[in-house]
Structure 1
Amino acid sequence: MNKKLAIFLVLLLSLSTFLAACSGGKADKTSGKADGDKPYEITWYTIGTPQKDVDKVMKEVNKYTKEKINATVKMRQIDWGDYDQKMQVMIASGESFDIAYTQGGNYVLNAQKGAFKDLNDLLDTHGKELKAALDPAFIEGAKIDGKLYGIPSNKEVGQQSVYVFNKNIVDKYNMDISSVKSLEDLKPLLQTVKENEPDFTPIATFKPHLPFDYVLEDELPFAFPLEGDTSKVINIFESDEMMKTLKTMHEFYKAGYIKADAATSTDPWPLEVQNWFVRKEMYQPYAELIWSRSAGYDVAVQPMHDPITFNNSVTGAIQAISATSKNPEKAMEFLNLLNTDPYLRNLIDRGIEGVHYEEVDNGTIKDLPARVDSYNMPSFSLGNHFILKLYENDPQDKWEVFKKFNDASVKAPTVGFYFDTNPVRTEIAAISNVASEFAPPLLTGSVDPEVYLPKANKKFKEAGLDKVLEEMQKQYDEWKKNN
């Protein structure tokens, strides 16, 4: 009996040791390299013109990620014009993938219909360093009904509209652009250009800045005021600010400061073309240096307002984990590494040192021909900017100034509020048709607002505007109660 009991105990001990070993190997899969585990291949869809050297760079990436998190990465680039449509087809078909770039309205719609994974818990368990590195405004602003469905790129958190001036003209006529505090303040400068520079168009076509927090697209009439009562959604085409601004734009149009075909022109006005005086752009710190390099001559900048954090500024570049991912934990580990590890972030963004770029003084870099020709990636879409290497002509305090810019950015009323359009989809489609008819001519000054605004507002109401405003207010009030 004693001999049988001893044999049983030995077998039991052997079995428990075997089970413990098995369970230990499985537990190690989500962090680092487990003995005998096959690396998980992460499928990552990104936006941008497919680059010749992607596979060459990803080979180096995979050496590193295999060692760090026991995973490899297959990057699949889709060109700018095709990206959104192809991603929608993939999502609709239920195709399995791990990570995809998304932004703005597409991020919200796909999250709301269950295409992306809720990352609240994953961020705490497999993305702790990433969570600490992200500006909290990104996490707060990208949450939909309290759930985070993607990792925003850590960059400028706010938006700031600025007037950008052709500095050659500013210097030639000794203009004081710091005195431009409003649209009306442009009048004497535009007149000078019109009278003295016949080959120049004073205004490179732009839509004026208006003090509103738009709920949907900026040509649709729904928005919350940024001043006064910021808790009520309004039809901006009925506001005093809109009428005043459009009157000024129409005055500019009649004076010949704006192109005659501004309402219908779809041609971009590239910086490289010099025959313009002022344009509107969205700013980030030191953007004037980038714009000047691109133009081949100097530009000067005057802010229209202080930086403001909007929903579309925090969701402008996001990496989402697909609901179809076979290993979302490993996908989050990769995003954690990408956004916190300078070597990996620079490798994916800048390419291979000595092939695509080289280091120069003080740890700064300059591009080699292969980067321009074969690995020119869209930096904004790829992750944390604050751990990227500086170029040799970048200011040394670039990232410190970015952080100050973010700290100074004021939250708009609807940050974190995402409108569910399903109850009023028919009305929004009809209102969009009205906006596409009236917004371009009105916002470019091409028509008299005293004649055309009443016509637009009549058609908006007939299309169901009041019903949409009521639904928006109802959803906003409910959201506000819980936030």
Structure 2
Amino acid sequence: MKKTRLMVKVFLLVLVTILVTTACSSKSNTETIESGGKGSGYKIKMAYVSTGTNLDDLPQVQEEINKITKKKINATVELEPISVSAWDNQSKLMVASGEKLDLILSTSIFGNYALQASRGEFIPLDDLLKSHGKGILKVFSEDVLEGTKVNGKIYAIPSAREFGANYGFIMRKDMVDKYHIDLSKVKTYEDLTDVFKIVKENEPNLTPIVNTGSGATDSRLGGMFDSLGDSFGAINYHGDPKKIINLYEDKDYTDQIHLTRKWYEAGYVMKDAATSKETSANIVKANKGFGYFNNLKPGFEAQESRLTGHEMVSVELSDSYMATSGATAFGMSISKNSENPEKSMEFLNLLYSDKDIMNLLANGIEGKHYAQNSDGSISLPEGIKESKYVFNNWEVGNNFLTSVWKGDNLDHWKQLQSFNDSMIKSPAYGFTFDVNQVKSEIAACQNVVNQYRDGLGSGTLDPDKTLVEFNKKLKAAGLDKIIKEKQKQYDKWLKMQ
């Protein structure tokens, strides 16, 4: 009997020990998961678009960033650059496959931000911002974040940069000087025709316009229209501010399409512009191009001079406008596939509050990718002609924390802030279209646009033969229904202003 009681006591003691050990282990595991891993730390995977080719030293830069994040938030980041040409397919596959993905570039330029948010591809950030994103909330005014809302929720944190632009053409200064081209006479896009003619006749190895895809036309439209996120129903800045119009039938659009076609037929646009995946800057860098259309900003000439290896000069051909899409053009969202949204937001918060991390991400490692100058600017280290690390810092984070490159004005960030403050706001600024009622129509119209946009925008397709067909297919896909729904929501929004 005593032996039996002893065995029972031993059994109970062992059972209690197991339960306590299990509970402690469970608590430890829970803490590890919630903190992102107190041992190895949580690894944050961040996917973004890369337009450069110099990524040799990316692992070294990533390692330096992780030394800081490991100490500050017990997490590391795995940077996942994806080329522009592969972005659409690869980013969609990453999300659809369910693979681990924490932060992903959300963009109304290379994608359809509002549609992706409404589909549930991104996690709402409102609560996470309050709990883990206080540094972000110090950077942005309320109206900027308001511009990222879809169905009343914030799904992206925009990069801190210019939130609008003026538009024009940027070109090689050596060619402008060589042929005594007077840019003061260039007042309209049509006026550039004479410039392109000079370059074509005297420099047969240089294509005057090296925009690829639909860029030769699309890069001029921002100074004429607020695309309202997807271009399926837009506002003409010089038309009725209360009326949603079909951009693809508007005279300002068709005039620009016909002008691009004229340039294409004259040989001023690359013959393979519609299919080329190369960036305009790289084409100029390879001594194959003269210039390209682009949205402009303070310091843009110096920026493109570094990218192309040629001193560049620009002509501005539009006013500066700020549309809601300025907030949604480039930002970071937390993917629905994230295994730790809280830790992802903590890292995102550092991109808006930690100067060292942003300089590493934007410029690389001091002494290796840039040198600090006595005036506070930075430049390539002595003896280095080309960095082995290039990052599109306009995509993510607080760019106002980064150092100014030599050649830019030392007050560059102050100038950029003034640039933002002085912009003409779109009459629809702050309006966000709820796509839920027309998601299938938007997807169908997007397929039509994908079929025609690059051909028309590059001048490859004859607009006299294809514009009517293009619009007919858009309407068959449901464009009129989208415009009607957008007008209905816009009218309601206007009444609340």
TM-score range for the pair, normalised by the shorter chain length: 0.7 to 0.9
Structure 1 residues 78 and 435: CA distance shift in structure 2, 3 A: closer
Counterpart-to-counterpart distance in 2, 1:443 and 1:344: 38
Counterpart of 2:420 in structure 1 is: 406
Give me the whole-angstrom Cα distance separating, in 2, the residues matched to 1:244 and 1:224: 16
Matches within 5 A, 1:28-107: 40-47=41-48, 48=50, 56-69=60-73, 71-80=74-83, 81-104=85-108, 105-107=111-113
Aligned pairs for 1:77-226 (under 5 A) are 77-80=80-83, 81-104=85-108, 105-134=111-140, 136-193=142-199, 201-204=207-210, 206-207=216-217, 209-210=220-221, 211-215=224-228, 217=230, 222-226=233-237
Question: Which residue, out of 318, 322, 341, partners 1:328?
Answer: 341
How far 1:63 sits from its partner (Å)?
A: 4.1
Number of the residue aligned with 2:9: none
Structure 1: which amino acid aligns with 2:47?
Answer: T
1:387 Cα shift? 0.8
Per-residue CA distance 1:91-113 (angstroms, 9 max, x = gap): 33444554333322354333222
2:268 matches 1:258:
yes
Deviations 1:336-384 (A, max 9, x none): 2231121232234434444544433234334459996764433233411
1:235 counterpart residue number: 246
Letter in 2 for 1:408: S
Q: Report whether the alignment pairs 1:343 with 2:356.
A: yes
The 8 Å contact of residues 260 and 446 in structure 1, kept in 2 or not, is answered as no
Q: Which amino acid aligns with 2:310?
A: Y
Work out whether 1:395 is the aligned partner of 2:401.
Answer: no
Percent of aligned pairs with the same amino acid: 35
SS, match of residue 234 in structure 1 = coil
Match in the other structure for 2:6: none
Alignment of 1:379-458 (within 5 A): 379-421=393-435, 423-428=437-442, 430-432=444-446, 434-436=448-450, 439-440=453-454, 442-445=456-459, 449=463, 452-458=466-472
Cα distance in 1, alignment partners of residues 206 and 39 from structure 2? 63
Superposition pairs of residues 243-282 of structure 1, within 5 angstroms: 243-253=254-264, 256=266, 258-259=268-269, 261=271, 264=274, 266=276, 268=278, 270-274=283-287, 276-277=289-290, 279-282=292-295
Give the residue type in structure 2 aligned to 1:75. Answer: E
Instruction: Answer with 185-194 or 127-136: which moved more.
Output: 185-194
Q: How far, CA to CA, are the matches of 1:180 and 1:50 in structure 2?
A: 35
* The one of 296, 311, 317 aligned to 1:304: 317
CA pair 261-350 structure 1, distance change in 2 beyond 3 A: closer
Partner of 1:17: none
Measured at CA, do residues 151 and 274 of structure 1 come closer, stay the same or move farther in structure 2, by a change above 3 Å?
A: same
Separation in structure 2 between the aligned mates of residue 374 and residue 189 of structure 1, nearest angstrom: 34
Gap change, CA 1:471 and 1:377, over 3 Å in 2: same
Question: Is the 2:45–2:100 Cα contact (8 Å) retained in structure 1?
Answer: no
- Provide the C-alpha distance between the structure 1 equivalents of 2:228 and 2:424, rounded to a whole number of angstroms: 17
Matched with 1:12 is: none
Measured after TM superposition, the shift of residue 284 of structure 1 is: 2.7
- For structure 1, the 5+ residue unaligned runs are 1-21
Q: In 2, are the aligned partners of 1:57 and 1:348 still within 8 Å (CA)?
A: yes
CA contact (8 A) 2:217 2:260 kept: no
Q: Is the 8 A contact 1:126 1:332 kept in 2?
A: yes
Aligned-partner Cα distance in 2 for 1:167–1:302: 11
- AA aligned to 1:44 is K
Give the letter aligned to residue 44 of structure 2.
T
Query: CA shift at 1:469, angstroms?
Result: 2.1
- Correspondence for 1:466 among 480, 483, 490: 480
C-alpha displacement at 1:443, in angstroms?
4.1
- Partners of 1:367 and 1:195 in 2: how far apart? 36
Q: How many Å separate the matches in 1 of 2:62 and 2:143? A: 31
| 1:135 shift after superposition | 5.2
Partner of 2:5: none
| Aligned residues: CA RMSD | 3.9
8 Å CA contact retained: 2:125, 2:153: yes
Give distance in 2, aligned partners of 1:201 and 1:349: 31
Asked if 2 retains the 8 angstrom alpha-carbon contact of 1:152 and 1:315, the reply is yes
Contact 1:42 1:97 in 2 (8 A): no
Distance 1:470 1:271 in 2: 43
Secondary structure of 1:339's partner? coil
Following superposition, the deviation at residue 404 of structure 1 comes to 1.6
Query: Relative to structure 2, which stretch is displaced further, 299-308 or 167-176?
Result: 167-176
Which deviates more, 194-203 or 375-384?
A: 194-203
Stretch deviating more after TM superposition (364-373 or 179-188): 364-373
Determine helix, strand or coil for the equivalent of 1:184: coil
State the alpha-carbon separation in 2 of the partners of residues 156 and 273 from structure 1.
28
- Partner of 2:217: helix, strand, or coil? coil
For normalisation by structure 2, the TM-score amounts to 0.75
Contact 1:160 1:308 in 2 (8 A): yes
Distance 1:60 1:244 in 2: 50
Distance 1:75 1:263, change over 3 A: closer
371 and 116 in structure 1: CA distance in 2 versus 1, 3 angstrom threshold: farther
Deviates more, 1:300-309 or 1:208-217: 208-217
The count of corresponding residues between Structure 1 and Structure 2 is 450
1:288 alignment partner, SS class:
helix
Distance 1:330 1:433 in 2: 36
Distance 2:61 2:290 in 1: 42
Cα separation, partners in 2 of 1:245 and 1:328, compared to 1, 3 Å: closer
- Given that 2:107 and 2:330 are in contact with CA atoms closer than 8 Å, whether structure 1 keeps it comes out as yes
Q: Secondary structure at the match of 1:154?
A: coil
Do 1:311 and 1:415's aligned partners in 2 also have CA atoms closer than 8 Å? yes
Find the aligned partners of 1:62 and 1:459 in 2 and give their Cα distance: 50
- TM-score, length of structure 1 as denominator length: 0.77
Change (3 A) 1:382 1:429: closer
Q: Secondary structure at the match of 2:191?
A: helix
Correspondence for 2:375 among 338, 359, 362: 362
